[in-house]
Structure 1
Amino acid sequence: MSIRHSLLALLQESPMYGYQLRGAFEERTGSTWPLNIGQVYTTLDRLERDGFAAKDGDDGEGHVIYSITQAGRNEVDQWFQKPVVSSNPPRNELAIKLALALTLDGVDVESIVQAQRAASMRTLQTYTRQRRAAVNPDERDSQDVAWILVLDSLIFTTEAEVRWLDHCEGWMRKHGGHITSASAAGAPARQKSALSNAEHEVTR
């Protein structure tokens, strides 16, 4: 996640100090990716160093105000225009955990998959409830729409994780034995229902 570009984009609206920037960022993304205030000010110092932002006095209460420079505006324009390319995939703790579990003796990989699926389904249901609550056709502004799109992204990502876990389970059944627990037997039906509900919410 590009914190520097996010802060610069917010500074395009108006000059702000660190706590205001953190609040604006978290408000527009539903606090999904909370920022450490130290990280915000460190990033602002680097933006000033690189000529993308400049100190613009203070608010009279000791808060240093930052404003965006023309170079900063150009940087934000380029950021919005360029597609996000994941040349180096971020570390996926779940994928790493399963990869290691499959290569070590004495690790119950099937139980790991089942536990993770249950947790992922709970997360999916939470995101779905949040999206349902966020949809208010009578009172909707640009920040509400932004939060709904963030939730849609989280829902799609979690759905993909659940489907990947199903793939892992199927692969293990084919190559490394069979799952016999009662909880695993009932999981597909519960999962299908929850995924269907989530997809219905996203298409509303």
Structure 2
Amino acid sequence: MSTVSANASVMDGIYRHQRHIYDLTRRYYLLGRNDLIAALKPPSGGSVLEIGSGTARNLILTAKRYPDAELFGIDISAEMLKSADAMIARHGLADRITLAQADATRFEPADLFGVTGFDRVFFSYSLSMIPGWETALRQAMQVLAPGGELHLVDFGQQTALPGWFGKGLRAWLARFHVTPRESLDTTMALIAAEHHAELSFSTLYRDYARIGCIRLPSA
């Protein structure tokens, strides 16, 4: 079995049943997602890609906040895509949101969507579930259009929270193959420098979460 197929099987195993209650439960601890969506601000008629789109919760909110944007999403889990398709149809957004099954570390947007570059790309609590997360970040940069922005929010290291809380959270997250990325800030800084791009990065809720953005220079 290939690495891609193995990763897809793992995610399908996790979400085969969880996908039905995912949004109800995650709303209480996936903090900062709405902050990310508010910061996207794509240009009028711009294109937005979510990597690890899950149930499409974020894409639906993005579509409603930015009615002129074109929305795209990829996820490695076929099970999650079932829920996402149903959610998108329920909200009447099938004409604005396009999904595809793909591996975040290697995908061709032209083949999947007929799009060569996106004005905005974002990860929302998906990077901590991608084994090759550094590769996924670099892949995301490759599909950004000139002047585009890469946004992300994910778990922090809980540095300003009680030690017992951080230890318990990480142990619980590990049950779902979630690993907060300790070097997220330094990796993003390195990638931004490689692209002569601007980086903004900060912590949220006493480092419960981390949120960042890399802005490419215009052509």
TM-score (norm 2): 0.28
- Greater Rg by CA: 1
Task: Return the structure number with greater helix share.
Answer: 1
- Relative to the length of structure 1, the TM-score reads 0.29
